[in-house]
Amino acid sequence: MKKTAFYQIIANVADESLRIAAPIPEFKVGDVYAGTWGYSMTLAKFAVITQVLPKSLKFDILENQTVSSVDPNGFMPRVVPNMHRKKKTVTVRAKIDSYGYIKVDGCLMKKWDGKPI
């Protein structure tokens, strides 16, 4: 193989038409995101999208509401977001990592499935 042919192959791979496009996530106002964090304990955090900007998102961090005193395994309370009580508003970059998480207020979050955490 000639040296020029090798460089032509590399140039073709670098061509944008051959690149695999990552799916662009859909962010909608009102979507709730949830995450857990903590060392030797589990703390839940919820956030709701309040504004979608071209490259960023505005979230309201929500307070937790306990729905049962003990989970089925007897370890901890189960919580859901209290949609009427917000703690603060934060702006984050609209980027989801390869595992499907977005970092909001220091916590990795995924779109909430509606089940208590």
Determine what percent of the chain is predicted with pLDDT higher than 90. 32
pLDDT at 21: 45
Where are the domains positioned within the chain?
Answer: 24-111
Mean pLDDT score, 70-79: 66
Q: Tens digit of pLDDT for each residue in 18-63?
A: 544 444 568 999 999 999 888 877 788 999 999 999 889 999 999 8
Q: Distance of CA 109 to CAs 13, 17, 23, 36, 95, Å?
A: 34, 32, 18, 8, 12
